[in-house]
Structure 1
Amino acid sequence: MNARDRIQSLERGVEVLRAFTGRDTSLSVAEIAGRVDLARPVVRRILLTYEHLGYAEATNGLWNLTPRVLEIGAGYFARSSLPEISYAYMSEVVERTGVTCSVGVLDGLDVIHVARVEDHRPLPDSVRIGNRLPAHATAVGKVLLSALPVDELTARLTAGPLDAQTPQTLTAVAPLLERIAVVRARHWDVSIEELHPGQVAAAVPIFADGRVVGGLAGSSSTVRENEASLTDLVVPLLRAAAAKIGSAYRNANPQLFRT
């Protein structure tokens, strides 16, 4: 896209919104300015604009987003959206396996979680909807990366950074490409303590009309599951659920798949 076709003030406004992560909900102007690399007066004017629109508020020098900001994402979570369609099938997987089930989509080198159903025994470091996780360190991330053309995949991994989350995290490009090639061939992955110590996960792609539209994951702990149980028991249930989700999503959104 030509830079002249972009609105810089809008880009800056979006960056300020993104400064509020799932763990940091109250921030000062200085903290936001440092995160988005903008001057404090610019950040202050953006925040005052959001306050005027009802999307942000300040208390004791700290800024917070208001519930009204959820309006921005309401269109994505419509009845025909991937998250809404997935919930019933995810709940069935959780009931049958006891894993925590989630749906993720790829954004650069991150996975954004757009739907999640917890078991009655929640995991530590629980992921919330909207949270980002590094794709290279997660089963669902590798499943989503495997859908990319090899040239694009290599370019993204080379651009990095690929930080080590645990000693088990693959951070070198060559081994990651080999692992993702295996995932691409078999359409599933299992991750053992690559993101958090003591946590394991399995994931499969969600295909709709031959295109990967998301990844379905089942997460648990090393106390409850191991590589064999994930591979033999959880993966088949995830694949069955993903097939139903993909079919339902395709039927609910025919306009997205017209040739």
Structure 2
Amino acid sequence: MTAKSSVRNSEYLSTLERGLSVLRAFSRERPEMSLSEVAVVTELSPAVARRCLHTLVELGYVAKRDKRFLLTAEVMSFASAYLESMNLEQAVRPHLQDVRDETGDSSSLAVFSDPDVLYLIHVSTNRMVRLAAGVGTRFPAHATSLGRILLAHMPKERTRDYVANTPLTRFTDRTIVDRKRLAQILKQAAQNDYASVKDELDYGIVSVAVPVRAGNGDVIAAINCSTATSRVESDEMRDTRLPVLRRAARAIEIELQRYPVLVNSITAAALS
């Protein structure tokens, strides 16, 4: 539970929070869990975890096989409702597809979801990579080009707080975990208006990202290109992909003017 959740208004439903925490406990590393495992991950008592799980089973969002629980496809209805109600696919995907077609790289749009980046749209290629992304994928912001450009354009005090207090996991021997160096990288990204990463989230992956702005100039999202280092080196990635990404970002920004509710939704998530 985050510090901001310490003060609740009278309408807050802690039971709903607990149920959602159970849904969020499942991941690629934990596709199915026992009751005791769910209790440990969510930091709920076994009795509360059991009630949440059995309620979710009754609602069809969780299934039980023997003594283990797993998500059902019904949870996808939440993502579908968001994508459809916000017109996200119509506003963004065609421009990311243009990026993919022109570069041969995968392309994504993501927003900041402390302490990660959260992928909202992903257009892939046929090339196999170890770290596949999709709608709802989360990666630590400090190790990704998307995360770095979003961090770079946050209010300075929020960027400083992230750098000073967020655990910086090392994924490879090239992952930047030195806080002073990360602060310098973010400062440079803000000045250059792009961020690039190579071999930091995983070996063999290079990416570059640019911001997407709302009508008032605030950065609300970011888009990137990502590909294998065997195809292109960092300098070439920057020189050849940046013009393509910046055209796509501008096209998305123009498109977003038609969907103010989507802009409000993304902005609210970024500020939460």
* TM interval, short-chain normalised: over 0.9
Matched, 1:155 2:180: no
Alignment partner, residue 64 of structure 2? 58
Q: How many residues align?
A: 257
**1:79 deviation in Å?**
5.8
Q: Closer, same or farther in 2 for the Cα pair 1:197/1:207, shift >3 Å?
A: same
**Are the equivalent residues in 1 in contact too, given 2:87–2:262 (CA < 8 A)?**
no
Matches of 2:47 and 2:36, distance apart in 1: 10
Q: Closer, same or farther in 2 for the Cα pair 1:213/1:116, shift >3 Å?
A: same
Matching residue within 233, 240, 245 for 2:247: 240
**1:23 deviation in Å?**
4.1
Residue type at the aligned position of 1:3: R
Residue type at the aligned position of 1:150: K
Matched, 1:229 2:205: no
**Are the equivalent residues in 2 in contact too, given 1:83–1:103 (CA < 8 A)?**
no
Matched, 1:190 2:188: no
Matched, 1:144 2:150: yes
Residue type at the aligned position of 1:247: I
**1:226 deviation in Å?**
0.7
Alignment partner, residue 117 of structure 1? 123
**1:75 deviation in Å?**
3.1
Cα deviation digits, residues 9-53 of structure 1 (max 9, x gap): 111111111001144322211111111111112111101111111
Matching residue within 161, 175, 193 for 2:181: 175
Matches of 1:135 and 1:98, distance apart in 2: 24
Residue type at the aligned position of 2:226: S
Matches of 1:43 and 1:67, distance apart in 2: 21
Matches of 2:50 and 2:262, distance apart in 1: 41
Matches of 1:212 and 1:22, distance apart in 2: 30
TM-score scaled to structure 1, two decimals? Answer: 0.93
SS at match of 1:157: helix
**1:106 deviation in Å?**
0.4
Matches of 1:82 and 1:204, distance apart in 2: 18
- Percent identity at matched positions? 28
| 1:207-222 correspondence to structure 2 within 5 Å | 207-209=213-215, 210-222=217-229
Matching residue within 1, 8, 16 for 1:3: 8
**Are the equivalent residues in 2 in contact too, given 1:103–1:214 (CA < 8 A)?**
yes
**Are the equivalent residues in 1 in contact too, given 2:88–2:262 (CA < 8 A)?**
no
Cα deviation digits, residues 106-154 of structure 1 (max 9, x gap): 0112011111111121322212321211100111100111121111111
**Are the equivalent residues in 1 in contact too, given 2:207–2:224 (CA < 8 A)?**
yes
For structure 1, which runs of at least 5 residues remain unmatched after alignment?
A: none
Matches of 1:3 and 1:250, distance apart in 2: 34
Matches of 1:163 and 1:149, distance apart in 2: 23
TM-score scaled to structure 2, two decimals? Answer: 0.89
Alignment partner, residue 105 of structure 2? 99
**1:227 deviation in Å?**
1.0
Alignment partner, residue 269 of structure 2? none
**Are the equivalent residues in 2 in contact too, given 1:104–1:216 (CA < 8 A)?**
yes
